[in-house]
């Protein structure tokens, strides 16, 4: 047994209450708990159960309900987070019912899905909460029996004393609710875990397979109307005039309104200008009785637009970014040693430029949100990854108190970063405010793809110096649209491994809205870097795996506290991947490519196997080795790994999104290619077992996939891919005759 190292005052965030219906309710605030440094609310006495964003409810019959606080976007936290509580509460997982909690905006932070952090940050506090509840139930039973609590044990919801007498949790919940909250509870030894580490199916599986209402688009209330929004056809254009006479005459159309004033206020306050897609322009909204009538009538609107800023094309953006790579204006994020001198003294220099396009998120559930605004309440319901931010922004936009906001989160038909941005929530709120009716804003697929917050187009230039068989300098320059890599990234590999090391960044402020996309920046940087290390090994004529292992050796024992990754853990995933993939031992006709990458606190190595079929290289298999510490739910974890790898392969192969005169050139799936079943590799997943605290898993398997594939394609075709998507370069896919025969 170990006592939790995180010091906090549980009284500040755990409260108990008897339920009128019988049973015990334990309220706790996950996000105060997740951030030990966050101060508890100033006035504890006025807190009531509405102030907690997560609960455990234990009924008289012993059934346990756990309210999961974080938004579920398909990453599995609605299953895995309650598992942490159930483990320490010591209840059988099959007796646990999980329900989505609502947002509490008043006191707390980090009720969001992003950065693959929910499990890592919830690991200690969620278990603490379960353990606290368990101790209170034990204390209640001990008092009933007149024995010391230390003489009692628990197992799957049953408390047993030294004489062998038993009481169920349900038998003592009333008494437990009246007890003091214990200050020091002990957590279970990981050796004795019964729930953590077992396969738990998705808690919503029955609803998903039978088509029950679950998603934002499924939400309905009596008297609800539907809104479809006409936005500018191109980035850089703003609304001038519009004619709604045809639309208004169409069946089901209730009214047509112009919105934008409120969103502009939001931009002025600096809250929303980077989140409101096309936020500068007013928009025209059709309100109709049904979704179809709203979508169809929008098509019947005609509008005139004026140019507000440059109507950019992909070629124009490419020129800007290449100009930045060649230019002298940049910011240095990390500088070790003296790269100039090392390049001057080098025997050999390798320099490569890597280029990626914009990417839309393409969540299968298009953006949508419900809003109903009355004098009493701002009721918001739907899929958003950042409910707290959205609620605060809406309250600010409408000049209302944030306590008026009641925000319910629905299960999300994908997130991938798109639902971090609340533009669709603000639009829904502005519409509801104007029409004074409950309304559902629905994006068509075309709206969703053309009013995005895209993964920005980025170009990387990497340059390395080689002297006496050693890599003596590494220089990375990023030219990106919108913003630049976050500050931790320059401390990822190979920082610390190469004496002279520098990372510079420059950005071009486009009018195209950009944002986080699954594994922001690293989703493409990993491709650039791990492609580069393969070429570096070829240039140095050394083994490509050994080069990486040798560089990692140099980071061991580092005193540089900025270094984010663990060289030992990285070496381990590399070695296991080499072993499990049969690296170098596959027969002729199988071409392998390797990549390893650290991000979201996890270490990942991947090997792609390419085979030639009908003269074309085909990615047949990816072996993926992940060190994300203790795996809470292996069944869900492997699903994330398989999905992350295939997502990475798919976007590297096919993902392309271009602009002409500010207008997105793809508007729907007929002109935007996502990977489909016939194109997927087999994914073999391996998880490192090391008993260390859990780290991220929703994102980190994606970044290395593109590089593993590119390195395998090089082996198969002799051609090096430096631009994504690979499918844009069919001439590089041609396999030399020898390889086909081989």
Q: Using CB under 8 A as the criterion, which residues of the chain lie in contact with another protein when the complex forms?
A: 72-76, 199, 201-202, 204-206, 208-215, 217-218, 220, 226, 251, 290-293, 295, 362-366, 411-416, 444-445, 635-636, 639-640, 642-644, 646-647, 650, 668-670, 674-678, 680, 682-683
Closest CA to 399 of 369, 375, 366, 418: 375
Helix (H, G, I), strand (E, B) or coil at 258: strand
Instruction: Please state, in angstroms and rounded to a whole number, the distance separating the CA atoms of residues 542 and 468.
Output: 13
* Closest to another protein by CB, 413 or 694: 413
Cβ count within 10 A of residue 641:
26
Q: What is the number of alpha carbons within 13 Å of residue 252 lying toward its C-beta?
A: 18
Instruction: Please state, in angstroms and rounded to a whole number, the distance separating the CA atoms of residues 329 and 432.
Output: 45
Burial string for 269-296 (b: 16+ CB within 10 Å, else e) reads: eebbebbbbbbbbbbbbbbbeebebbbb
Smallest gap from Cβ 74 to another protein, in A, equals 3
Kindly state the tokens that stand for 365.
């559930």
* Closest to another protein by CB, 149 or 650: 650
* Closest to another protein by CB, 368 or 472: 368
Instruction: Please state, in angstroms and rounded to a whole number, the distance separating the CA atoms of residues 80 and 58.
Output: 19
Instruction: Say if residues 390 and 335 touch (Cβ distance below 8 Å).
Output: no
* Closest to another protein by CB, 7 or 209: 209
Smallest gap from Cβ 679 to another protein, in A, equals 8
Kindly state the tokens that stand for 696.
């991220």
CA–CA distances in Å: residue 702 to residues 517, 571, 705: 11, 19, 6
Smallest gap from Cβ 210 to another protein, in A, equals 4
Smallest gap from Cβ 353 to another protein, in A, equals 29
* Closest to another protein by CB, 129 or 701: 701
Smallest gap from Cβ 616 to another protein, in A, equals 16
Cβ count within 10 A of residue 155:
12
* Closest to another protein by CB, 27 or 82: 82
Determine if the peptide bond prior to 723 is cis (ω within 30°).
Answer: no
Smallest gap from Cβ 601 to another protein, in A, equals 21
* Closest to another protein by CB, 232 or 636: 636
Smallest gap from Cβ 201 to another protein, in A, equals 4
* Closest to another protein by CB, 85 or 645: 645
* Closest to another protein by CB, 124 or 647: 647
CA–CA distances in Å: residue 573 to residues 108, 492, 569, 604, 623: 37, 16, 6, 6, 11
Cβ count within 10 A of residue 640:
24
Instruction: Say if residues 429 and 398 touch (Cβ distance below 8 Å).
Output: yes
Smallest gap from Cβ 416 to another protein, in A, equals 8
Closest CA to 104 of 183, 193, 28, 197: 28
Smallest gap from Cβ 304 to another protein, in A, equals 26
């Amino acid at each position: 047994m170990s006592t939790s190292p995180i010091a906090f005052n549980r009284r500040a965030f755990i409260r108990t209450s008897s339920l009128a219906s019988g049973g015990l309710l334990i309220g706790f605030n996950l996000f105060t708990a997740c951030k030990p440094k966050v101060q508890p609310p100033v006035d504890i006495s006025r807190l009531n159960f509405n102030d907690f964003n997560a609960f455990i409810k234990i009924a008289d019959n012993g059934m346990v309900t756990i309210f999961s606080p974080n938004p579920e976007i398909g990453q599995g936290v609605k299953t895995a987070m309650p598992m942490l509580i159930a483990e320490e509460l010591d209840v059988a997982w099959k007796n646990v019912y999980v329900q989505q909690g609502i947002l509490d905006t008043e006191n707390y932070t980090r009720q969001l899905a992003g950065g693959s952090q929910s499990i890592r940050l919830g690991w200690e506090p969620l278990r603490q909460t379960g353990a606290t509840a368990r101790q209170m139930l034990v204390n209640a039973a001990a008092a009933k029996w007149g024995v010391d609590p230390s003489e009692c044990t628990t197992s799957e919801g049953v408390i047993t004393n030294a004489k062998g007498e038993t009481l169920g949790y349900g038998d003592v919940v009333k008494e437990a609710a009246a007890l003091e909250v214990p200050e020091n509870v002990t957590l279970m030894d990981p050796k004795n875990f019964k729930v953590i580490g077992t396969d738990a199916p998705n808690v919503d599986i029955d609803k998903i397979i039978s088509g029950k209402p679950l998603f934002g688009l499924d939400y309905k209330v009596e008297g609800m109307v539907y809104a479809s929004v006409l936005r500018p056809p191109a980035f850089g254009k703003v609304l001038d005039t519009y004619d709604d006479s045809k639309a208004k005459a169409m069946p089901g159309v209730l009214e047509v309104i112009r919105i934008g004033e409120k969103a502009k206020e939001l931009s002025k306050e600096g809250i929303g200008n980077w989140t409101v897609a096309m936020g500068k322009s007013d928009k025209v909204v059709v309100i109709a009785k049904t979704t179809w009538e709203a979508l169809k009538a929008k098509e019947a609107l005609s509008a005139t637009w004026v140019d507000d800023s440059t109507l950019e094309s992909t070629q124009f953006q490419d020129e800007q970014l290449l100009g930045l790579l060649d230019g002298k204006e940049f910011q240095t994020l990390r500088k070790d040693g003296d790269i100039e001198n090392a390049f001057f003294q080098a025997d050999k220099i390798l320099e490569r430029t890597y280029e990626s396009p914009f990417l839309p998120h393409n969540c299968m559930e298009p953006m949508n949100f419900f809003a109903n605004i009355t004098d009493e309440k701002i009721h918001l319901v739907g899929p958003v990854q950042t409910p707290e931010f959205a609620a605060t922004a809406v309250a600010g936009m409408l000049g209302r108190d944030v306590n008026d906001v009641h925000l319910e989160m629905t299960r999300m038909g994908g997130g991938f970063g798109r639902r971090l941005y609340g533009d669709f929530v603000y639009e829904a709120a502005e519409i509801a405010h104007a029409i004074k009716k409950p309304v559902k804003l629905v994006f068509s697929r075309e709206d969703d793809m053309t009013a995005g917050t895209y993964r920005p187009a980025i170009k990387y230039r990497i340059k390395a110096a080689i002297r006496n068989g050693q890599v003596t300098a590494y220089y990375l320059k990023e030219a990106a649209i919108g913003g630049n890599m976050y500050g931790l990234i320059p401390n990822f590999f190979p920082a610390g491994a190469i004496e002279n090391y520098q990372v510079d960044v420059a950005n071009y402020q486009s009018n195209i809205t950009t944002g986080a996309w699954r594994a922001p920046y690293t989703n493409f940087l990993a491709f650039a870097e791990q492609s580069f290390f393969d070429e570096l090994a070829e240039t140095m004529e050394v083994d490509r795996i050994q080069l990486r292992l040798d560089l990692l050796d140099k980071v061991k024992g580092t005193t540089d506290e900025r270094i984010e990754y663990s060289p030992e853990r990285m070496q381990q995933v590399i070695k296991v991947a080499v072993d499990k993939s049969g690296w170098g031992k596959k027969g002729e006709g199988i071409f392998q490519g390797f990549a390893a990458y650290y991000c979201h606190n996890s270490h990942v190595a991947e090997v792609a196997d390419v085979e030639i079929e009908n003269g074309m290289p085909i990615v047949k298999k990816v072996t993926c080795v992940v060190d994300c510490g203790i795996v809470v739910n292996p069944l869900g974890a492997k699903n994330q790994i398989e999905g992350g790898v295939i997502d990475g392969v798919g976007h590297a192969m096919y993902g392309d999104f271009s602009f002409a005169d500010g207008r997105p050139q793809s508007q729907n799936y007929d002109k935007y290619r996502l990977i489909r079943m016939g194109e997927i590799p087999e994914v073999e997943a391996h998880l490192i077992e090391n008993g260390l605290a859990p780290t991220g898993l929703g994102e980190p398997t994606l970044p290395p996939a593109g590089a593993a594939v590119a390195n395998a394609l090089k082996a198969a075709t002799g051609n090096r891919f430096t631009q994504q998507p690979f499918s844009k370069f069919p001439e590089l896919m041609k396999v030399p005759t020898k390889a086909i025969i081989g």
